Chain A
Amino acid sequence: MHNCKETREIFTELLLDGMDFRSDQALSAELSRCSDCRSEFEVLSATLRLTNRLGETAAPAEDYWTGYHSKLRQSLVKAQAESSTSRAKAQRHKDELGPLFEPLRPRAGTSLFARFFKTTVPVPLPLAVAVIAAAALFLSLVIPFAIRTARKDVQQPNTTTVVRVPVEVPVVQEKPAEKIITRIVYRDRLVVKATTPAKDATRAESTFAKSQSEAMPSSLAGFKPSDEVKLTVIKGGVPNEK
């Protein structure tokens, strides 16, 4: 069955390859079946042939190439000169620095490891002096520090550092319990039936003596009982205590 799309793809590729469609009988048969494909083929074939012809006709004339190649030669000579200059510069650097690395160049029979320890490298004297001075300075700074560090390690082997930090801790202070001292003083009841003024005076004196004796609670000497009961309460006592 004829497929226009496939047919056009096939003859386009054949035309791009520069093949003659008449050599392909299958394609010729397909083109003979479809007039659209045939006309498309004719147009496309003419188009590509024209572009080929353009390639031929667009070529410059022969006298153009004389100037073209002379210009190219000048460019090549210039490029070669620049290349030679850069190569000479590189060679000069190589000649200057080459002897420095010459001993490390690989040679047959000796390993790089052996050459590394046996090779002597020529170094300018100022550079050598500077390197040695820098090394001496470095060692003079590093060695004392290392010794000091080692001594500290010996003196305090595995010591733990105790750091004392004062910390304020709130303490709850209990109020001191206040005792209530209750003293009951019993006095003898005086039966006043018939009193005389002399007796009242005696009674007054006895009352005074009693008050005096109260000032001495530790001793009951001179205590005389009376009918009155005096209760003394000291403030600040325990609430439940009466």
Chain B
Amino acid sequence: MADPLHQFEIHPVVHIPLGEVNASLTNSGVAMLAATIAITLFMTLSMRGRALVPGRWQSLAELTYEFIGNMVRDNVGKEGRPYFPFVLSLFMFILFGNLLGLLPYSFTFTSHIIVTFAMALMVFLGVTVIGIIRHGFHFFSFFMPKGVPAVMLPLMIPIEVVSYLSRPVSLSIRLFANMMAGHTMMKVFAGFVFSLGLFGFAPLAVDVALTAFEVMVAFLQAYVFTVLTCLYLNDTIHLH
């Protein structure tokens, strides 16, 4: 039986050695390019007709736009409008990355901690910098919740700081572990299909159900990453 973790291996597709640095295009990079091209084609080609009464593709594009627009407006408020392009790009990138990984023989680039940690770190640093620019030194009053007696402050402030610093960690691990666990489970059941011979239809049925579940998880994880980004943005813009 093949190793279920073999699918996560990164290997170069186009060798580009730049002296000391290995700048090759890897299978992960190809998957990211494919996701970006798919998103661009989806959004631009769907809106090409510009009908007042949208057809099917235009409805999909408009529904996605409004879904994220409403999410930003509900969770961040009016001040969140400048950040809407970033939030929409983040959502579409993660969603298409998760979904494209479900196709056979493709690569799920969100199943690597370095990719999800880079995205979560960008969100965290961006949100913190936005808060510091907007509120100056007053930003650090975020770590002092209201209505706390002064005796508890030496305990509460480190707890608040640690829980704030754990945000990029939890954000990245949630997405990475979901994707990796889902794909590993699918591979393990797929390995059982051939080795069971005649009764191989049972793990195959489980694999079909698991693929449907993974489609739902793909949407859910993209949604949760985006909604938590909006909530963290709301935290640093307001409540100071």
Are A and B subunits of one complex? no
